[in-house]
Structure 1
Amino acid sequence: MHHSNRVKMTKDSIKPIMRENEQGINKLLVSKAEIFDKVKTKPGELPCKQFEARNSLLTDLYEVKHVRTVYHIALATLLGFFLNSVAYDYLQKGEISFGFNLIHKGFVNFHLLIILWLGMFLSHLPVYLGFKCWATIRIKLAPPQSSILNLWDRLCLGLFILYYPGFLYCFTFAATHYGQQIAASMGLLLEMIRMLMKSHAFVRSNAPRVLKYKPHSDKELPYPNFNKFLYFSFAPTLVYQDSYPRTKTIRWNYVAVWFLEFIAGVFFLSFVVDRYFIFPFEHYGLRPYTWQEILIITLGNFATGLLILLGLFYLLLHAWLNAFAEMLRFADRLYYKDWWTSSTYNRYYRTWNVVVHDWLYTYVYKDFYEIVTPKNKVVSKLMVFLLSAIFHDYVLGFGFGFCLPILFFNFFGFGVLFNFYKIKPDMLGNILLWYFNAVGMSMNSVFYSIEYHSRVNCPIENVTIASYFIPRFLSCNK
């Protein structure tokens, strides 16, 4: 009796401590993940992006000892994969590659990659010069409603619209025809899309200021100086402002840690893709594969697909962006929210990649909702999904050298469907979201690996435009 009371008293004394710790963690999650980063500036318009000094959510969560342990588990897992790779290569192949086979193949012409990026960046700079030229001459033209002024505006707008396909064509051709492998090509294509998004954001944000400028009453010029454009070109955001919250100092030790995490993440993804998605299908077209075998590999790589999803998230949205933000003293580091707690795809899409979501919201959804199709949320959402689906498939299609529109159907098909459908209760929705994401990543990786090896092992004799769109694996597996 005395012993049971003592145990009961111990449990009762522990409960307040556990409750206090749980409340503290929940408070931290709410303060960072549920923060309102958009505010209304004018009545009748949608809220605008609001920048403020804040850490990434994981940076703050790592201050909690229990969450930090999860980070340690991830490092232990990475160490296990590394040792497994060393043992496998030595015992099976008689050599040690440390899992860098894909990295070596993907960036074999690294010097060309640097040259192409420099050419891309130099081609991005004329956007500022052209915008300044348009604004300067426009200010000097009078009267405001003259036909010459309207002609000048239309001419500059037409040239800027032509800049998009010209930039896309030149650097898509360069990325795919100058000896670049898949990884390097996709890196260049992603950088090309990023620069186009930056160019559009700069012009779209500053053009209204030029159009409203009154030379006799406004003293400040309606266009920013070149330093602001240059800073925005490298800043880890796609939404333009003249100024952003800045940190006082650069913590170079943090920069070093984030770049080390990035390198480790690249090794991890290289090893996982090589071992679990390339190795099982490297003989596709040389021997027959049954649909049962493909299905078993796809479902069996559920956990592997999950590792790729988490690896890409941490590698790009946390380590890479935080490293550049620290070097540029960029203080707003809300690159993602607590997407892992989402129970609906509607919330998942808004919290997974805040950087891209902010651009799509500001320059696509907001413009369609306020200007193109006023007050129509459905059309505005559909345009966001359509644009996102097109450019995801654009990067993968030209990176791999064939069109396999799996991501297009995922985004513009299942993505649109699940965006308007909510599963209750939230626990079931969260479980299903994690499962579908993992299986979806596994399925995408499997089919791209199959199609790639089909075209390597069963080369097409007469290459035509149609062969780019017709899946080779349908006729290769005999």
Structure 2
Amino acid sequence: GGEHDQQLPNLEGSGRGDVAIKSLLRSVVASWNFIGPVEVKLATPGSSVPCGLKAGALGRSGATHVLPMVLGGKRDPSPRLFSSELMEVQHFRTIYHMFIATLCVFILSTITVDFIDQGSLCAWGLDLDFDLFFFAFGGLPTALSAWLGMFLYTLLVPYKALQLWAGSYHTVHFPRLFTALLWGVLLACHAVVLGFYPIYTVIQHQLPPASRFIVILEQIRFLMKSHSFLREAVPGIIQAKPSDGAVKPPAFSTYLYFLFCPTLIYRESYPRTPYVRWKYVAQNFAKVLGCLFYSYFILERLCIPVFTNMSKQPFSIKTLVLSIFNATLPGTFLLLLIFFAFLHCWLNAFAEMLRFADRTFYKDWWNSTSFATYYRTWNVVVHDWLYYYVYQDLFWVRGLGCLLPIFQLFKGRSRAAAMLSVFIMSAIVHEYVFTLCFGFFYPVMFTLFAVVGVIFNFLLNDKRKSPVWNIIMWTCLFIGQGIQVCLYCQEWYAQIHCPLQQTFWGLVTPRSWSCRS
């Protein structure tokens, strides 16, 4: 399939020695894929690392991080198939079946109760008109056209800018001025096309929530992808010698592949699987549709009846607390459904279609005994991007002598400052997404990430190993999901029942605090 399309060996063997050989060969093949031919040596206690390969010099997928880093990257050159192999484990598959059975029993019990109480299944709405579903995905053609515009821009403009810069950087008389002008123009284009345009689209066309999520999440994905591509390609061009001839950017085909493959870390090559299992792809997309149906059912039966008239009742702490605990069950279901639908089914489907072998989109976050571990393992795709381009690059900037305010605040504790920066950035992005997609400002996500998340990250740290802490983590997750579902549902119906005051404080103050229609 091409020079970057080496296949993994299909090795057979059931013995312990065969497994070890298989693992070693896979590591060698993956290392070849990422960094070219390498010398394989078995490290022994007290042995030295080869001079050309300093500790921590390799990135997530084995490629060198060109810019100097104070902290070393994580070396993991082997193709990882965690999420795709997880369902092959009999014990985990049984738990998956139990979860489906629980949902089926939940649906049957609801139908039975409604039939007994109202004497008719049609009263419950089993004609399945899916009004909520069609409302949420209204304006889908507009959302898709916005996606197409953002995709074409991300595909063509950053690559052409890099191509122009690479061909002229070592030949112009004022390379720094040329670089500043070119990247200034690119930054302005980014601000217009990937910044203003999607916001204008969702507001001007009054898109409903699901269509808004498509546009805004894709906006963020394209920003992260283009940043990774430029961040990985630029240092190599800078360090190239003019005597080597014309400097060429990475192949266009590798960038096009990167825009679709389920990773946010750009590499010129990735481990590839030998073939595509189209049945597996269809099964994953079918599971995504099933998760959408279950989410619709949960919202229709457990959230809307509870919160639709809540703003019409007098506010009290008792009512709020009871509503939070009533929202814990649907919130937990929605958390697991979103995790399974996107991080497992959706990403695995695209990975399979593109023969992308690295399937570690998440790790065993359900076994976490600390929130520090949970944040690292819940979404590995985003975590890797934050680790390399926010956490590590902050140390690189600090190493250049740039004392950012966050480092001045944490004197002598650079790791804590960088970690807090990651939390704040993540909190701002989450709040940005929810504000635009729901159409109102209610900083629940920002508070949970930037305040509660930071506190839990430092209090429930990696030193907690007892299974009791896993119970505590799950309890906090359940309550947190109840808080999110309760407060956002309250605010949604408060925005409907109460007229919006066209003042600054009217726009930034949650309506559910004062709405009593």
TM category, shorter:
0.7 to 0.9
Aligned to 2:499: 459
User: 1:82 Cα shift?
Assistant: 4.4
Aligned to 1:25: none
Assess if the C-alpha contact under 8 Å between 1:82 and 1:99 holds in 2. no
> When the two structures are aligned, how many residues end up with a matched partner?
436
1:85-234 aligned within 5 A: 88=114, 91=121, 93=123, 95-96=125-126, 98=128, 100-125=130-155, 126-141=157-172, 146=173, 148-166=174-192, 167-217=194-244, 221-234=247-260
TM-score for both structures, normalised by structure 1: 0.85
Cα 1:61–1:233, aligned 2, differ >3 Å: closer, same or farther?
Answer: closer
CA distance in 2, matches of 1:84, 1:139: 71
> SS at the partner of 2:243?
coil
User: 1:306 Cα shift?
Assistant: 1.7
Aligned to 2:429: 391
CA distance in 2, matches of 1:196, 1:84: 45
Aligned to 2:55: none
Letter in 2 for 1:72: H
Moved more, 84-93 or 353-362: 84-93
Matched, 1:370 2:370: no
1:4-403 aligned within 5 A: 45-48=71-74, 50-57=76-83, 59-83=84-108, 88=114, 91=121, 93=123, 95-96=125-126, 98=128, 100-125=130-155, 126-141=157-172, 146=173, 148-166=174-192, 167-217=194-244, 221-372=247-398, 376-403=414-441
Cα 1:75–1:299, aligned 2, differ >3 Å: closer, same or farther?
Answer: same
CA distance in 2, matches of 1:349, 1:187: 24
Letter in 2 for 1:137: S
Identity %: 35
Assess if the C-alpha contact under 8 Å between 1:237 and 1:355 holds in 2. yes
> SS at the partner of 1:242?
coil
Aligned to 2:404: none
TM-score for both structures, normalised by structure 2: 0.79
User: 1:158 Cα shift?
Assistant: 1.9
User: 1:333 Cα shift?
Assistant: 0.4
Matched, 1:448 2:488: yes
Cα 1:40–1:416, aligned 2, differ >3 Å: closer, same or farther?
Answer: farther
Assess if the C-alpha contact under 8 Å between 2:327 and 2:485 holds in 1. no
1:278-316: CA deviation from partner (whole Å, max 9, x where unpaired): 221112333435431231121133232221111111111
Cα 1:53–1:108, aligned 2, differ >3 Å: closer, same or farther?
Answer: same
Assess if the C-alpha contact under 8 Å between 1:258 and 1:322 holds in 2. yes
1:410-425 aligned within 5 A: 410-422=448-460, 424=464
Cα 1:60–1:113, aligned 2, differ >3 Å: closer, same or farther?
Answer: same
| RMSD of aligned residue pairs (Cα, Å) | 2.5
1:13-42: CA deviation from partner (whole Å, max 9, x where unpaired): xxxxxxxxxxxxxxxxxxxxxxx9676958
Assess if the C-alpha contact under 8 Å between 2:71 and 2:395 holds in 1. no
Assess if the C-alpha contact under 8 Å between 1:40 and 1:47 holds in 2. no
1:68-118: CA deviation from partner (whole Å, max 9, x where unpaired): 211211222333344456665964736325484432111122222221211
User: 1:188 Cα shift?
Assistant: 1.2
Cα 1:422–1:373, aligned 2, differ >3 Å: closer, same or farther?
Answer: farther
Aligned to 2:513: 474
CA distance in 1, matches of 2:204, 2:125: 32
CA distance in 2, matches of 1:399, 1:452: 11
- Unpaired segments of 5 or more residues in structure 1? 1-35
Moved more, 115-124 or 429-438: 115-124
> SS at the partner of 2:224?
helix
User: 1:249 Cα shift?
Assistant: 0.4
User: 1:436 Cα shift?
Assistant: 0.8
CA distance in 2, matches of 1:380, 1:39: 23
1:374-430: CA deviation from partner (whole Å, max 9, x where unpaired): 782122111111110000000000111111111111111111111112374521211
- Unpaired segments of 5 or more residues in structure 2? 1-58, 401-412
